[in-house]
Amino acid sequence: MKLDVRAIAIAAGSVAAAAFIICGLFFRLMPGAAGGSFDIMLHANMGPMWRAPGWGGLLLGVIGWWVLTALCVGATAALYNRTARG
């Protein structure tokens, strides 16, 4: 079976971007709750280093994660297609 590299890359990038938007909005709109959950996930008090991202940072993060995920998954699909032929 051959994978459509472009389609799978766009799909994976879109899912990653949607997850980043949900998470980023949570951190932006509810910084206290987000900071507390961040402490729980890392098992450490991150309060002194915590700051909510700005709207520009949120936008850049969405674009960056979309591109990075699409490139990584696209490369994985291309490698799969090359190795699955044999």
| pLDDT tens sequence across 10-47 | 999 999 999 999 988 888 888 777 777 777 777 777 66
Confidence at 65, pLDDT banded by 50, 70, 90: very high
Mean pLDDT score, 50-71: 87
Which residues 6+ apart lie within 8 Å of 55 measured at CB?
Answer: 28
Question: Under DSSP, is residue 30 helix (H, G, I), strand (E, B) or coil?
Answer: coil
Among candidate residues 47, 25, 26, the one with its CA nearest the CA of residue 36: 47
Whether the CB-CB separation of 1 and 84 falls below 8 Å is answered with: yes
pLDDT at 61 over 90: no
The rounded mean pLDDT for the chain is: 85
Domain borders along the chain are 5-84
Confidence at 50, pLDDT banded by 50, 70, 90: low
Cβ count within 10 A of residue 1: 5
